[in-house]
């Protein structure tokens, strides 16, 4: 099939403003957008810049805006877009470093701010082995373990666009993963961090994050659970 492809370009070292490159291409409908970008790099412009690593929806590095929606370029097929006009742009809300590459530093700063790691300084059980957990307790936070830190959620959030100091849905998801882990002992600290004016209360339940997540994580639900835990002081 033939597609009309538009790719956002920004080359700061030239001093030029951002612009779009346009291509009319023959592609197979089952090709992924990442394949199409690779083809452009191979045939037209080896300087086209974007992040990618695994090419299988695991590393989270190739989130970008495709026809106005945040997606992983390696997970979306041309035929799934339902249009022969395809526009590829960088994520919103983070500054563009070059072409489709955005500065992820603010995103990872928010992620780090919620202590996204296991905390437990208590002595190990008497047998010196693992800290055991029931299957039901493990299930409680299973959904939020699936995050691959692609930033598709945070960069689709209107509250984050309005104020980049908002910690954002990805950071809350990763806090949720540890807050609800019965083996962890720092839930109260994380809830205090998220009770900040740039924390969970900036979420206006827009649901863009949940729609954008390539891992189908119930992000808005997780945020609601964290809000409830702050209000009630209970982890249910
Ligand atoms: Fe990406 Fe989903 Fe994690 Fe957000 S919650 S960073 S959209 S995987
Ligand atoms: Fe933003 Fe998601 Fe809340 S899009 S406003 S974090 S529900
Ligand atoms: Fe790794 Fe797409 S390249 S998720």
| 61 Cα–ligand 1 center, Å | 11
Query: Do the beta carbons of residue 39 and residue 3 sit within 8 Å?
Result: no
Burial class (CB in 10 A: 0-12, 13-18, 19+), 57: middle
DSSP collapsed to 3 states, 117-159: CCCCCCCCCCCCCCCCCCHHHHHCCCHHHHCCCCCCCHHHCHH
The answer to whether the pTM exceeds 0.85 is yes
Which ligand 3 atom sits closest to the C-alpha of 214? 4
pLDDT given for residue 226 in this prediction: 98
Q: What is the pLDDT at residue 233? A: 84
In terms of Cβ atoms closer than 10 Å to its own Cβ (0-12, 13-18, 19+), residue 228 is: middle
Half-sphere exposure of 192 (CA within 13 A, CB side): 4
In this prediction, residue 126 carries a pLDDT of 85
Ligand 2 binding pocket includes 157 (Cβ within 6 Å): yes
Burial 131-162 (b: 16+ CB within 10 A, else e): eeeeeeeeebbebbeebbbbbbbbbbbebbee
DSSP element (H, E) containing 3: strand 2-9
Whole-number pLDDT of residue 236: 81
Residues of the chain with pLDDT under 70: none
Per DSSP, the three-state class of 68 is coil
Question: What pLDDT score was predicted for residue 114?
Answer: 98
State the distance from the centre of ligand 2 to the C-alpha of 207, rounded, in angstroms.
5
52 lines ligand 3 (CB under 6 A): yes
Ligand 2 centre to CA of 157 (Å) is: 5
Ligand 2 pocket check for 117: Cβ under 6 Å: no
Q: How many CB atoms lie within 10 A of CB 52?
A: 16
Ligand 2 atom at minimal distance to the Cα of residue 169: 6
Give the pLDDT score at 1: 96
Judge if the beta carbon of residue 34 lies within 6 A of ligand 1: no
The residue whose CB lies within 8 Å of the most ligand 1 atoms, and thus the one to mutate among 154, 217, 223, 226, is 217
């Amino acid at each position: 099939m033939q597609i009309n492809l538009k790719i956002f370009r920004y080359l700061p070292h030239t001093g030029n403003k951002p612009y779009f490159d346009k291509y009319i291409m023959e592609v197979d409908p089952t090709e992924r957008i990442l394949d199409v970008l690779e083809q452009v790099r191979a045939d037209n412009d080896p300087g086209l810049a974007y992040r990618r690593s695994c090419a299988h929806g695991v590393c989270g590095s190739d989130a970008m805006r495709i026809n106005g929606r945040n997606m992983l370029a390696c997970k979306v097929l041309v035929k799934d877009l339902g249009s022969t006009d395809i526009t590829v742009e960088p994520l919103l809300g983070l500054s563009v470093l070059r072409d489709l590459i955005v500065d992820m530093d603010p995103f990872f700063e928010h992620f780090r701010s919620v202590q996204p790691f296991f905390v437990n300084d208590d002595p190990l059980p008497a047998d010196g082995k693992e800290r055991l957990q029931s299957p039901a307790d493990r299930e409680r936070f299973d959904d939020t373990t699936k995050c691959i830190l692609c930033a598709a959620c945070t960069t689709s959030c209107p509250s984050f666009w309005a104020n980049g100091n908002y910690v954002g849905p990805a950071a809350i998801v990763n806090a949720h993963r540890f807050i609800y882990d019965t083996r962890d002992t720092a839930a109260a600290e994380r809830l205090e961090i998220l009770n900040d004016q740039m924390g969970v209360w900036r979420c206006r339940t827009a649901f863009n994050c949940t729609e954008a997540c390539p891992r189908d994580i119930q992000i808005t639900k997780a945020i609601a659970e964290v809000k409830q835990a702050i209000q009630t002081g209970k982890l249910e």
